[in-house]
Amino acid sequence: MKKELLYLSQADVKAVGLSMTEIIKALEIAFRDKGEGKTEVPPKPGIHPGGSDNFIHAMPAYIPSMKAAGVKWVSGYVNNYRRNLPYITGLLILNDVETGIPTSIMDCVWITAMRTGAATALSARYLARPESSVVGILGCGVQGRTNLEALKVLFLLKRVMAYDIDPEAAARYAQEMEKRFDVEVIHASTPREAVGGCDIIVTAGPILKKPHRTIQANWIDEGAFASLVDFDSYWHPNALRMISKFCTDDTAQLLHYKSIGYFEEIPAVYADLGELVAGKKPGRENSAEKTMAVNLGLAIDDMAVAPLIYRKALEMGVGSRLPL
């Protein structure tokens, strides 16, 4: 029998037009299944060509209820910007769960950007105050954009405080996001301005093994929720100690990173996202708690989304067929 797979370029993946709402919904199913012990998501192995700040990770996952199985092979190269190349690049392979046969190869950049924002929003659904309306974004790049897009799906946002170490990046972001999402976006000139007074804070600058500890304990308002897309790089340990519910997407993965030198001074993990979504542990319980999610990124995020893209692409006739 002649076997074929569907190849989807980055443009094809985008052209399929999966919405952030659909992506958040898919992640919710995946994390509920994870919380109920129904997924397979082994810790990601990595290689580090050219130094430990670069990575290429293999991220396999199986989500039975979504008939999703496959692997993402994703790289992050810290100096790519010097060559005018993106930080994150990579591919994702989907397999047929019945036969194991590869059905699709697709670019994973768009999926990575979107699912990471969706993971923030999903965490916020359980950990932020439902009436949250002011968001602080520190790091106005790809993640700064998709995290805001995802939060906009679940919260009635009024104002965004946007800070970037590069003022031009923050100004571009403010202009673009204001137009796109019809919210007021204020270009914050210091990190403190983008933290104080916010209901939700997203830090999305570079990941550092040794945090620069900029955000201090007394900057965070009562009742705030923070999503640390860039690990604990931005946070002073005293600020982390003020958090009543410190959560992550996978406790084993966080502890693994701790064992190799990251997260030296973090509080104990209260719950992982699967436990929150499956109702095994309560999320926010009052309006005063300060809560936090450090989602390091899990293969089930990607594997929840990729089959939806594959199926829509088949329906729409998007992509190129390649012989196996």
Ligand X SMILES: NC(=O)c1ccc[n+]([C@@H]2O[C@H](COP(=O)([O-])OP(=O)(O)OC[C@H]3O[C@@H](n4cnc5c(N)ncnc54)[C@H](O)[C@@H]3O)[C@@H](O)[C@H]2O)c1
Binding site for ligand X (CB under 6 A): 76, 87-88, 112, 116, 138-144, 163-166, 169, 204-207, 229-230, 295-297
Three-class SS of residue 234? coil
Comparing CB distances to ligand X, the nearer of 168 and 315 is 168
Q: Which residue has the tokens 């965490």?
A: 123
| Shortest distance in whole angstroms from residue 103 CB to ligand X | 25
C-beta nearest to ligand X: residue: 141
Comparing CB distances to ligand X, the nearer of 153 and 314 is 153
Q: Which residue has the tokens 């946007």?
A: 162
Of the candidates 3, 14, 38, 72, the residue annotated as catalytic is 72
| Shortest distance in whole angstroms from residue 143 CB to ligand X | 3
Active site residue 67: no
| Shortest distance in whole angstroms from residue 203 CB to ligand X | 8
Q: What strands, in cross-sheet order, belong to the sheet with 55-63?
A: 46-47, 55-63, 68-76, 88-95, 102-107, 4-8, 320-323
Comparing CB distances to ligand X, the nearer of 102 and 144 is 144
Whether 87 and 107 have beta carbons less than 8 Å apart is answered as no
By the 10 Å C-beta count (0-12 exposed, 13-18 middle, 19+ buried), 29 is classed as: middle
Contacts of 205 (CB under 8 A, 6+ apart): 138, 139, 165, 230, 233, 234
Comparing CB distances to ligand X, the nearer of 75 and 143 is 143
Whether 152 and 64 have beta carbons less than 8 Å apart is answered as no
| Shortest distance in whole angstroms from residue 208 CB to ligand X | 9
Could you list the active site residues?
Answer: 72
